[in-house]
Chains A and B, each alone.
Chain A
C-alpha cells in the first residue's frame, strides 16, 4: 500500500512530538535553525530563527541536494550519503537523513560546533525515527480500519469545491 502514490500524513499529536524534539535539539546544540523536510521537498516542521528565512525554498533545495548526492552515491556504488555538511563564512548547514525518509537540517554558527551538532543529531535522529514509526503504524491502522487508503479528508470533496479554488 505504501507505493510512491501513497500520501504522507501528519497528525497533531506526532507534530507536537516532533516539534518538541526539534526544540530540545535547538537548545542543546546552540544552533540557529532546525527544520525537518520530507524527501520530496515538503517542509514538515521548523524551529528557531525562522522569521527571515524562506523555509519553503530551503525545503525544496535541501531535498534537491539530497536527491542529487543520492544519485552521485549510486553511481559510485554507495547506498546514499547520509550526511552533508556545508561550511559558510558565518553560518554552516548540516543535513542528514533520518529513518530513510525525512531530512534533518541544522543551521548553526560559531556559538555551536560541528562536533556538538553531530552528537546531537545522532540522538535526535533516534527520537525522530521513533515518531515516524508511530506515524507509519497509525497510517496502517487507518487503512486497515477503512478497508482502503481513504482516511483522506478529501474523500467527500465535490467538483464545485475544486472549481472554487480557481476563482
Chain B
C-alpha cells in the first residue's frame, strides 16, 4: 500500500523480493545498495542468521527522484526464502505494492522455484491481493552458472501471467537494475490508475 504524503510531497512504495532460499534476493539488494549514490539511499538493514541467511527481512530505502513535484521513495524488502520461515514471509507481504519473484535458474532448483511461487500465490491471496493484478515481475537469476534450465522452459513453468521477465546474475549485477526498474514502472503505473 503506497503512502502519498501531500505535506512532505512524497510518495512511498513497497516492493518485495520473493523466491526460494539462496536464489539471490539479498544479493540483488546488496548490489543495488553498492551501486547507488549515498544521497539516494538509506541504510540497508539485514536481519540475518550467522550464516547470512535472511531470518526476517532485508530492507533498503531508495529515493529515485521526483515525479510531478513528488519525491518518489521505494522501500525494498526481501523475504526469507527457507521454507520454514513462512510466518515471516506473510508479515513482509503486508502492504506490498509490487513483487519481484527471483527464480534460481539452476536445474536442481526448478522444483524449489515452483514451490515458492505457489507459496507466494497463497500468501498474497491470504492478504487479500489479487494475484492476477498486483504489479509483478520475474527475474531468472544466476544465468552465469552451468546446468541451467532454459529461459523458455522457466517462462513456461513460472510466468503464466506473461509479466515482464528478465535474465540476471545478481552477483555481477547483470539485470539487477533492469529488474528493479521494471517493477518500479509497474508500481507507478498502477498508482496512475488510482490503485
Contact = CB atoms under 8 A, between A and B. Distances in A.
- Give the interface SS of chain B, mostly helix, strand, loop or mixed: mixed
B109 interface: no
A15 B1 contact: no
A9 B123 CA distance: 26
Contact of A10 (B6, B61, B72, B87): B6
A114 interface: no
Interface in A9-52: 9-12, 14-16, 38-42, 44
Contacts of A11: 6-7
Interface residues of B, number: 48
Contacts of A14: 7
Interface stretch (A63-71, A81-89, A103-111, A117-125): A63-71
B5 A67 contact: no
Interface stretch (B22-30, B136-144, B162-170, B185-193): B185-193
Taking residues whose C-beta sits less than 8 angstroms from the other chain, chain A's interface range is 35 or more
Contact of A5 (B1, B57, B64, B75): B1
A157 B42 contact: no
Contacts, number: 141
Contacts of A154: 11, 67-68, 70, 188, 191-192
Contacts of B181: 166
Nearest to A8: B3
Contacts of B75: 41-42, 60
A166 B42 CA distance: 17
Contacts of A42: 3, 12, 75
Contacts of A78: none
Contacts of B134: 5
Contacts of A159: 185
B128 to A, nearest CB: 5
